[in-house]
Structure 1
């Protein structure tokens, strides 16, 4: 379905080009495709704001954006090569065509993984690459999260319109009500703070990252619980 990544992605424009190239390959009803289209919108929004003063440090934010996207694209490439994606991404890739799962569930499952797992690790990756303290990205971290929240609201409205017969059904309300973008963003920043303190304790750092991979995957899987008979 997808071609393997041949060249390293170094710029936001390259990220967008790669994502646009992948988009037509996702068939209708593919849960990964639902998330992919939403995330492409986020990335295009970030790119549009890099030159207008929205971000305090646009050069560093561009690096963060590339590393952030790279974690999702690595999961796409692993799946395309017949390898298992990281544990946090496996639910969405394994259940991408699961009957009874509403498209909004797929979008939120992907957001959960990308925000709670990939974003804090991308902040740490960016700090290491630029030789900076992760706290120096805090302002722009919250700004990129604001864009994620904006798109999440749009996606909820598009994928679960007022006319959707499932909109008020108890199973769907229960599943969707269990996840909050505000809580996900807060948890992700708490992870940044924890990993910052563990930078010089590699065994503990790796243990926390491994546990994060598994725990985020559990929530992402729960979000894909079928709600339709």
Structure 2
């Protein structure tokens, strides 16, 4: 792993320890994210990405949006964006996998487009070759995440996830669905990042307006996931990601 990713893993570990001691439900998403970050670090070491330096910078920047929100919520929940307020404020009695789903949804839909803009400056959006490399590395992350789905499913079961015999039979189906949802959301994320970039070029006011639209859409999606009923059905109908009009 790069030094920057090593430092990120250390920060995550420091934040996770007290959450685990307190049995705070936020530990479920952070624990999953920590393991995923280590997997990204291993992929960097293995030469999976075309531009490992850029991926390392992006990985750290993206994670810090979540970690900053997590720490801010401990001081004043009103300080954090809507999707994170709902995710962090969810019923602690929800199963671990529900807390992970809420965190993933808030982080991917709201934070990921913003992070892409922070690590892809306007000059890179204007360079077709550079932008294509960024897009390919963005898609390669799917492979890292997909490879983690089965292991994370097992980790959540060990953490107290609710698994009936029927759930175990459906496990392979649910894992395939998870991979499809991740791919679908990342396609939408790239489109949303492009929309935010167009607003950035237009000016600060236009960017703020589009970012507010994204936050509202991401908040509505987390709120939908919190409604009672079959979550996978709603994801199949509405998708995992959101789209800026």
Q: Distance in 2 between matches of 1:77 and 1:131?
A: 33
Quote the residue 1:88 is aligned against.
83
- Equivalent runs, 1:63-142 vs 2, <5 Å: 63-84=57-78, 85-95=80-90, 97=92, 99=93, 101-128=94-121, 132-133=124-125, 135=131, 136-142=133-139
Pick aligned residue for 1:33 from 12, 27, 30: 27
Q: 1:143 aligns with which of 140, 146, 171?
A: 140
Paired residue for 2:213?
A: 211
Q: Supply the distance in 2 between the matched residues of 1:167 and 1:217 (Cα, whole angstroms).
A: 31
Partner of 1:192: 193
Report if aligned partners of 2:87, 2:106 keep a CA contact under 8 Å in 1.
no
Task: Mark the CA change 1:217 to 1:149 in structure 2 (over 3 Å): closer, same or farther.
Answer: farther
TM-score of the aligned structures, taking structure 2 as reference length? 0.74
CA contact (8 A) 1:106 1:224 kept: no
1:223 aligns with 2:225: yes
Q: Secondary structure, in 3 states, of the residue corresponding to 1:148?
A: helix
Is the partner of 2:82 in helix, strand or coil?
Answer: coil
Number of the residue aligned with 1:164: 163
Unpaired stretches in structure 2, ≥5 consecutive residues: 168-176, 230-245
Q: 1:109 offset after TM fit, Å?
A: 1.1
C-alpha distance in structure 2 between counterparts of 1:167 and 1:105, whole Å: 18
Q: Which runs of 4+ in 1 moved over 6 A?
A: none
CA deviation profile, 1:37-68 (whole Å, cap 9, x unmatched) = 00001111111122321110011111101110
Q: CA RMSD in A?
A: 3.2
Q: Distance in 2 between matches of 1:43 and 1:211?
A: 29
Cα deviation code 1:105-159 (max 9, x no counterpart): 111111111112211211100113x953382411111112322233244323443
Aligned-partner Cα distance in 2 for 1:220–1:41: 23
8 Å CA contact retained: 2:199, 2:210: no
2:151 to 149, 154, 163: 154
**Paired residue total:** 211
* More helix as a share of residues: 2
> Cα 1:187–1:154, aligned 2, differ >3 Å: closer, same or farther?
farther
Q: How far 1:163 moved relative to its partner?
A: 8.2
Q: 1:166 & 1:222 partners in 2: Cα distance?
A: 27
The higher-RCO structure (CA 8 Å, 6+ apart) is: 1
Change (3 A) 1:163 1:196: closer
CA distance in 1, matches of 2:191, 2:49: 21
